[in-house]
Structures are given as C-alpha cells and as structure tokens.
C-alpha cells in the first residue's frame, strides 16, 4: 500500500506519484532534490526536475522546468495557448536524506516560483506543506532505485491545496 500525504486529494495523487517517480530515478544529493508534476487542463501530467547550480542564481526550480515542458508539450494540441489556459494543478516533492532514511514531503513553491506561477497561471492550484505530527513510512514500488536511498518516509504534517494566486497576496498580475 502506498501512503500519501494527509490532505492530498485523491484526484491529485497521480501528481505525487509522478513527482516521486522522477525522484526515484533522478535524485542526486545537492543537484536534483525536488521534482514537480503539473496536471494540464486536458488531464495530462508533465514533470520537471530541480537543477542545482554552483552559484545559487544559476539554479532552476522543478516548477519552472515543468512549466516550460508544458508549453513545449502542449503546442501541438493548443498552439499559442498561454499557461493559464493549460495548467490546472502544480505539486512539488522534496527528497531529503536523513539518518533514518529518505524524507519525502510536498514543498511549497519558493518566492521566485510563486511569482512565476502568479504571472503565468494564477488560477491554477498548488500545494503547501503544513508540518505537525509524526513521520510515516512510505512504500515505493522500487525502494532500491538509483535515486532514493534508504527506506522512504513521509514528513510529519499535511498537505493543503491552495490557489496559486493565494501564495502571493497583493501581487499585481503582469499584463503580457
């Protein structure tokens, strides 16, 4: 049985699964620690992976990578459509190695990603992590995959689904 973060809706569980699958194959300490999954308005799921750079400014968040992939991947079906017509929900998962195993949790978009999401798809939904409680073990299909090392477990707390625009209150949406 696969455990999901408390508060994650049934309809968004495939987003968690997609992001964890990316981490399972691609996680590298200090290089690729966050994966994002985006559900498009047509129901398809697109993923992205965090790319850490030696200079902090050169790093690229998983959400931005996933949004770019949505634009590129949807152009054949929706030529010229902006992201706010293509993106339904964004979810990012953080992998953090600990002495007890691999901690997995939903991670809220950083400040830059909040601005990016607010500019391009403010009506979409996303998730934040609200910490509390005790960590729970997670059962993955392949626990010995190259990316995730150790027995994975969920961070204590719960997920909360929010509208992207709520993550940056008072923001003025850019008029493109």
Q: What is the CA radius of gyration of the chain?
A: 16
This model's pTM is above 0.75: yes
Which of 41, 162, 73, 175 is closest to 119 using CA atoms? 175
What is the average per-residue pLDDT within 72-89? Answer: 91
Which of 125, 115, 24 is closest to 64 using CA atoms? 115
Determine whether 33 is an active site residue.
no
Report pLDDT digits (tens) over 16-54.
999 999 998 888 877 888 999 999 999 999 999 998 888
What is the average per-residue pLDDT within 120-146? Answer: 70
Q: For residue 80, count other CB atoms closer than 10 A to its CB.
A: 7
> What DSSP string describes 94-163?
EEEEETTEEEEEE----HHHHHHHHHH-TTSEEEEEE--S--EE---S-TT-SS--S-EEEPSSEEEEEE
Domains of the chain by range and CATH?
10-165 (3.40.140.10)
Tell me whether strands 101-106 and 152-154 are parallel, antiparallel or unpaired.
Answer: parallel
Q: Which entry of 33, 63, 115, 166 is annotated as an active-site residue? A: 63
Residue 163 reports pLDDT greater than 90: yes
Bigger pLDDT: 170 or 70?
A: 70
Residue with the two structure tokens 């709520």? 166
């Amino acid at each position: 049985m696969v455990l999901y973060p408390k508060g994650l809706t049934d309809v968004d569980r495939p987003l968690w699964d997609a992001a964890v699958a990316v981490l399972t194959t691609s996680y590298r300490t200090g290089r690729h620690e966050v994966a994002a999954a985006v559900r498009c308005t047509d129901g398809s799921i697109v993923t992205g992976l965090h790319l850490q750079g030696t200079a902090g400014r050169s790093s690229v968040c998983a959400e931005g990578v996933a949004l770019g992939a949505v634009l590129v991947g949807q152009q054949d079906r929706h030529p010229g459509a902006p992201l706010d017509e293509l993106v339904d929900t964004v979810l990012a998962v953080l992998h953090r190695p600990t002495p007890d195993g691999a901690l997995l949790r939903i991670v809220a978009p950083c400040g830059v990603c909040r601005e990016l999401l607010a500019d391009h798809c403010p009506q979409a939904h996303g998730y934040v992590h609200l910490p509390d409680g005790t960590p729970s073990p997670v059962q993955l299909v392949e626990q010995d995959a190259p990316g995730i090392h150790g027995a994975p477990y969920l961070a204590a707390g719960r997920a909360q689904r929010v509208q992207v625009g709520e993550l940056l209150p008072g923001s003025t949406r850019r008029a493109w």
